Structure 1
Amino acid sequence: MIIHVYALCWNEEKMLPFFFKHYDNIADQYYIFDNGSTDNSVSMLRENPKVVIDRFEIEGNSLVKSAQDKFNQFWKGSRGKADWVIVCDADEHFYHPNLRTYLQECTSKGITLIVPDGYEMVSDFFPSSHQPLYETVRNGVRSQTYDKPQIFNPNAIQEINFSPGRHTASPIGDVIKPSNNDVLLLHYKYLGLDYINSRFSALKQGLREGDTANRWGFHYLWDEKQRLEQFEKLKNRSIRVL
């Protein structure tokens, strides 16, 4: 069974060690589309022998729309080559105790699309990269926003038709989902206030007129007080996930 992982990248040097630690035993090949990173991301990508690097360019007046268009298309290169594709951001970690075995079982049952249970994970500090995040950051808040249908069979799905941000999709093709959601999508963005402030401030720079007009990525426009309020709210609501 062959699994390809697709992701966009922009200045992800802090998250990439966790990304690879999580997915290296799952992915046979990565296809990473870099949007002109100015940190150490590209050199880190080049160090991983499974990674194929390509470019991602923002077109028109919207980062989110450009990303949506890319996510709706780039996985099609895996048709006839992979049994499953995972499309995600570097801070989106699909978790199952043995995801490869689970997907093999799904293949044998004719399942073609996985919808996870999403969680917004939260930590008081940014963890050490010596362990996978699912071992060190185990608390989070259930978030249906992150029930993202981003694992699917590229040979069965003709079009995935993600909405902006990939929070929902309208797939076309042989769409068969499992009866239970056995996979989690763990979103690791709220990892200490320093990381939140630096990452949100950086991502704010990428937003364009079309994004702000549609309120896409609006949370990146929050000031530090608003970020702190959201961070505290998540911590207070968080439960043990893993």
Structure 2
Amino acid sequence: MKISAFILCFNESLMIRHTINYYSKFCSDITILNNNSTDNSIEIVKKEYPNVKIKNFGAENSYREDILTEIRNNCWKNSDADYVIVCDMDEFLYSQDMDNSLKLLEKYRPAICSVVGYEMFSKKFPKNNKVSLLDQVKHGLRNYRFDKTIIFNPKKVKHINYDYGAHSCSPEFYDKKAEDFLIEFKLLHFKYLGKKYLYKKHFDYMNRLSKINIQNKWGAEYKEGKKHIDRKFKIVEKHIFKIIP
């Protein structure tokens, strides 16, 4: 069974090794969708992961959610894979028993799968990329916004029709009788990995907000800056729990 991953990237030099190392374990190929990165993210890929594909796309050198949504909706359409994963750099498709989940996926070949979302938290960014991120960050919060359909069968899904942020979609199937078999995965969102790391990331995204994003309040949390991050970590202190065994 062939699984292809399509991963969005903007200035992910700290995260990119973690992500590629993780998806390389069960994906046949990986494509990095580069949105005008100005750090050494792409140099890392070229030097250390020569088999990983890179596709560059422009967005007026700004953060434009409408263009990102178009990319998510179309980047996979020429894929010959049995399943595609379309995600951001900090999103990991996870199962406690991944081998068994993949066997079920291969056996039943559903059009889409059930995905349950969690936000992961750490006081400091885990810089040791030689150790799996899942072994370093095990705690988080349940977040329904990340019940995102990031894995689906391109031979059964004609259009995925993601909305803003890919938090929802309205898939169209080649066969109207296509049904999803409830093979359940988790989506682990590794965004909140230390305040220092996030302060800079939010600042960089805030400076790239496009007019269309501002008008539609897409990425509004970036304009909040440190307030948004501090509030999230305060909530975590009371409600965080272990997600990865």
Distance 1:41 1:62, change over 3 A: closer
Which residue matches 2:232? 230
1:123-142 superposed matches below 5 A: 123-127=122-126, 128-142=128-142
Deviations 1:161-209 (A, max 9, x none): 00110001100004422235x2110001111110110111111122111
Q: TM-score of the superposition, structure 2-length normalised?
A: 0.91
- Do the aligned partners of residues 139 and 60 (structure 1) sit closer, same or farther apart at CA in structure 2, a change above 3 Å counting? closer
Q: C-alpha separation between the residues in 2 aligned to 1:59 and 1:150?
A: 26
Partner of 2:243: 241
User: What does residue range 139-154 of structure 1 map to in structure 2 within 5 Å?
Assistant: 139-154=139-154
Instruction: List runs of 5+ in structure 2 lacking aligned partners.
Output: none
Task: Measure, in 2, the Cα distance between the counterparts of 1:61 and 1:225.
Answer: 23
2:62 & 2:91 partners in 1: Cα distance? 25
- Whole-Å Cα distance in 1 between the matches of residues 70 and 102 of structure 2? 26
Deviates more, 1:218-227 or 1:37-46: 218-227
Task: Tell me the residue number matched to 1:106.
Answer: 105
Number of equivalent positions:
239
> What residue number does 2:81 align with?
82
Identity %: 31
Structure 1 residues 125-134 or 100-109, which shifts more? 100-109
Distance 1:135 1:110 in 2: 30
Residue in structure 2 matched with residue 178 of structure 1 by the alignment: 181
| Alpha-carbon separation, structure 2, partners of 1:221 and 1:66 | 20
Whole-angstrom distance in 2 between the partners of 1:110 and 1:24: 21
**1:97, distance to aligned residue in structure 2 (A):** 3.6
Q: 1:4 corresponds to which letter in structure 2?
A: S
Asked if structure 2 preserves the Cα contact closer than 8 Å seen for 1:11 and 1:39, the reply is: yes
- Can you list the C-alpha shifts for 1:218-239, whole angstroms capped at 9, x where unaligned? 1111132332122221332211
* Mapped contact 2:92–2:187 kept (Cα < 8 A): yes
RMSD: 1.8
Q: Which runs of 5+ in 1 are unaligned?
A: none
SS state at 2:161 partner: coil
Q: Give, in whole Å, the separation in 2 of the partners of 1:18 and 1:89.
A: 13
Aligned to 1:117: 116
Q: Is the 8 A contact 2:63 2:209 kept in 1?
A: yes
Amino acid across the alignment from 1:168: S
Query: What is residue 212 of structure 2 aligned with on the other side?
Result: 210
What is the one-letter code of the residue matched to 1:121? Answer: M
1:64 matched residue in structure 2 = 65
Tell me by how many angstroms 1:48 deviates: 0.9
